[in-house]
Structure 1
Amino acid sequence: MTSWLEISEQRLRANYRVLAEAAAPATVLAVIKANGYGHGLEHCAQILAAAGAYWLGVNGVEEGADARRALSAVGMAVEAQPRVLMMCGLSEEDADGVVQETLTPVVWTAQQVGWLGAAARRAGRTVSVHVEVDSGMTRQGARPGAELEQVLQAIRETHGVQLDGVMTQFASAEAAGSRQTAEQKARFEEALAEVVAVGMSPAWISAGNTSGVDVTDGAEDLTSWVSRLARGMGARSMVRPGLGLYGYRLAVEAEGEVQAESRLGDQLEPVMTWKTKVIGLEEVSAGAAVGYNGIFVAERPMRLALVPAGYADGLRRELSSTNTREGGWVMLRGQRAPIVGRISMNLTTVDVSGIDGVLVGDEAVLLGEGVSAEDHARLAGTIVYEILCGVRAVERHKPRS
């Protein structure tokens, strides 16, 4: 094992509680798709179910099945497990698995409803669905009007399929006062009016990610808004945070003169610590070129340590350094050890000249205390989501301490 993740059960539970309190009265769907944002879907499903999560959110059938197996493995009967929302669409080949694993799929076309109806009839069961409305993100969902009408009609006419929820996703939830968000809210309200007009009564109205829970500007925030809409329809409201569960949130933005604030503040704590061990030490003289293409040249005698992690493991190549551009760092013995030269596929060299007593076998922290996913994202010119989801450590387990 060259690197591993330590997942803090205590912090994941605490982050869930923070989000649940901030979102109340809306129910929190805990998003564990993309392998739990790199944290390990099975382990996160078990922790969050034990913390009281009523819903879990997965990508597709395979992740849904993995969640079911993980919960069954700790003695939780399927009927006692959280409901599982399959968030990212389905193909015809997925339909039987949806029914078999008792998943709740997101749908937005009559064709999808037809596939599920055929699978439900084959199994002699009923499948509940959540209809996604494309309120302006232009990704997945039925647009209000003719498209939504076709989906609703298909549900009404398809034996074995029932409407359980209506949802949408906001493109700019982190930006208070966003004109795009205002337009999306209006379209979603229009869509809900269409649902009511055809005599359908969903049990759940769902919208909002971590930023939807987090951002407030003194007016009606997204969580309060979706809760109000749900009450007006005799339904329950739901929000779908993912990033916040794992200890991060996007920076709050504001458009115009709006004064935006974070409801979550510094209450969230990172759940993941990514570690490896020093596998080599070397003393080099001034003038030594380090790594591919010699983009870093030692300007003085240096002591370098080698750690067995690189871009194939998810340590971004953009964290490489030159003599004129500082890169990333790892933590060794509680101190920063700067990355020197170019990060390789599975190896990275760091400068330990100023850290006393470093030995082969010492633990090095790639992500965790002293070096965060936000640090990596800033240096790599990307977002925290991509950093977390990109980690490909061999093993995930609870911290030993």
Structure 2
Amino acid sequence: MESIDDAAAGNWGGGGRLTVDLGALARNWRTLADRAGGAETAAAVKGDAYGIGLAEAVPALAKAGCRTYFVALPQEGIQLRTLAPAATIYVLNGLIPGTATLLAESALQPVLGSLAEIDEWAAYKAAGGDGRAALHVDTGMNRLGVTLDEAAGLADRAEALGLSLVMSHLACADQPDHPLNAAQLAAFGTAARFFPALPASLANSAGLHLSPDYHFDLVRPGIALYGGRFGDAFAALEPVVCAEARIVQVRQVGVGQSVGYGATQHVTRPSRIAILSAGYADGYHRQASSSDGAAGASAFLHGRRAPLVGRISMDLLAIDVTDIPEAQRGDHAELFGPNIPVDEVAAHAGTIGYELLTSLGKRYRRHYLGGA
């Protein structure tokens, strides 16, 4: 007799399923590489490759031609190193005290963003350490990075510090007309001139689309790779993730009756309500709920949209399938994907697509389509 564990790879699984199109991921990288012109195109794969799975994303990106990656944390870099032995890997969140030798052992390059980090790295190098590192210069975001004056003071120490890259980060690139973009570009141009022998990197997904002036030597897209929106002025690339939830029950609800916790929404016609086996424990945010006063997000099945009804709970949510008579128990409805953009759901939840992707729960049954 088949066990639940054995059947998990088939039709049992969880309440939700996640389809990740690694071919779309690779095509998105190639599209961005074409746009980058002569600049090298890296990939930001922090947050478990924006929630889609580092172990699956990196081989697909590597096969497409990507050779440089950015992670946030050392443990992400250590995992990535096993997947891409020859890749260049930068750790964006800098140098954790006492870890210089450990990073170097995995050929991970910390992005040094303060004088304290630089002093510790300099002591490691003076003691014979052979690791490499990047320098982060703050050009107006006021988050990480040394000041322009501090960068100028480090210009003649680049070789001794083993610097391989100078970089900064744009704060408002998703708003092309924001004046901070031009100000940061000018400031970073100054910083890059302090280190003429080093490659320079400024552009994220949106920055890559501002103008070639922002490209420098290396661009490092993130959300654009995964099909998310990276600014109102720019069209998203191919969707990579499709999240679906299974219908566990279809029920009749009479006029004036409420659906879900808090009785926040009442139906205004005799309705067929489908209950889906997914909720905020699966990363589908409660704020995307619907109520009498405000429509929430929608799902998609059998070629049509089905609006959410009432509050999203931990494991369940409700959709109105009155106009989709073929909807039945066992069907799967798209929560976001090619028909319901992830950023549309995020807008209903008062957040951004990044947060939905990186919040994907562990209960989805994942299926990966072919890579590059």
* TM-score normalised over the length of structure 1: 0.82
> Are the aligned partners of 1:60 and 1:86 in contact in 2 as well (CA < 8 Å)?
yes
> Are the aligned partners of 1:96 and 1:116 in contact in 2 as well (CA < 8 Å)?
no
| 1:114–1:4 distance in 2 versus 1, CA, 3 Å | farther
What is the distance in 2 between the residues matched to 1:155 and 1:114? 13
| 1:47–1:120 distance in 2 versus 1, CA, 3 Å | farther
> Are the aligned partners of 1:209 and 1:239 in contact in 2 as well (CA < 8 Å)?
yes
> Are the aligned partners of 2:346 and 2:353 in contact in 1 as well (CA < 8 Å)?
yes
> Are the aligned partners of 2:249 and 2:329 in contact in 1 as well (CA < 8 Å)?
yes
Please tell me the residue identity of whatever aligns with 1:373.
V
What is the distance in 1 between the residues matched to 2:249 and 2:153? 63
Alignment partner, residue 396 of structure 1: 366
Alignment partner, residue 7 of structure 2: none
1:347 equivalenced with 2:316 (yes/no)? yes
> Are the aligned partners of 2:248 and 2:275 in contact in 1 as well (CA < 8 Å)?
yes
- In structure 2, which of residues 133, 140, 149 is the aligned counterpart of residue 129 of structure 1? 133
> Are the aligned partners of 1:174 and 1:212 in contact in 2 as well (CA < 8 Å)?
yes
1:148 equivalenced with 2:117 (yes/no)? no
> Are the aligned partners of 1:99 and 1:119 in contact in 2 as well (CA < 8 Å)?
no
Cα displacement string for residues 220-249 of structure 1 (whole angstroms, at most 9, x for unaligned residues)? 6422xx2xxxxxxxxxx0011111111233
How do 1:270-285 and structure 2 match up within 5 A?
Answer: 270-285=239-254
Alignment partner, residue 21 of structure 1: 34
Cα displacement string for residues 330-367 of structure 1 (whole angstroms, at most 9, x for unaligned residues)? 11222212110111122111111221222221112111
> Are the aligned partners of 1:43 and 1:70 in contact in 2 as well (CA < 8 Å)?
no
- In structure 1, which of residues 339, 347, 360 is the aligned counterpart of residue 329 of structure 2? 360
What is the distance in 2 between the residues matched to 1:389 and 1:397? 17
What is the distance in 2 between the residues matched to 1:272 and 1:110? 40
What is the distance in 1 between the residues matched to 2:58 and 2:191? 32
Q: Secondary structure at the match of 1:182?
A: helix
- In structure 2, which of residues 90, 103, 110 is the aligned counterpart of residue 98 of structure 1? 103
Cα displacement string for residues 289-327 of structure 1 (whole angstroms, at most 9, x for unaligned residues)? 211110112233222111121122211212211233211
Please tell me the residue identity of whatever aligns with 1:210.
S
Q: Secondary structure at the match of 2:164?
A: strand
Please tell me the residue identity of whatever aligns with 1:287.
G
Structure 2: gaps spanning 5 or more residues: 1-13
| 1:315–1:211 distance in 2 versus 1, CA, 3 Å | same
Alignment partner, residue 6 of structure 2: none
1:53 equivalenced with 2:33 (yes/no)? no
Let me know the Cα RMSD of the aligned residues.
2.3
Q: Secondary structure at the match of 2:354?
A: helix
What is the distance in 2 between the residues matched to 1:118 and 1:143? 21
Q: Post-superposition shift, 1:64?
A: 0.6
1:62 equivalenced with 2:97 (yes/no)? no
- In structure 1, which of residues 28, 34, 41 is the aligned counterpart of residue 54 of structure 2? 41
* TM-score normalised over the length of structure 2: 0.88
> Are the aligned partners of 2:23 and 2:369 in contact in 1 as well (CA < 8 Å)?
no
1:164 equivalenced with 2:164 (yes/no)? yes
How do 1:63-78 and structure 2 match up within 5 A?
Answer: 63-71=76-84, 78=85
- Count the aligned residue pairs: 356
> Are the aligned partners of 1:110 and 1:154 in contact in 2 as well (CA < 8 Å)?
no
1:207 equivalenced with 2:216 (yes/no)? no
| 1:125–1:179 distance in 2 versus 1, CA, 3 Å | same
What is the distance in 1 between the residues matched to 2:179 and 2:293? 41
Structure 1: gaps spanning 5 or more residues: 72-77, 227-236, 254-261
What is the distance in 2 between the residues matched to 1:362 and 1:392? 20
Q: Post-superposition shift, 1:155?
A: 5.5
- In structure 2, which of residues 224, 233, 242 is the aligned counterpart of residue 244 of structure 1? 224
Q: Secondary structure at the match of 1:250?
A: coil
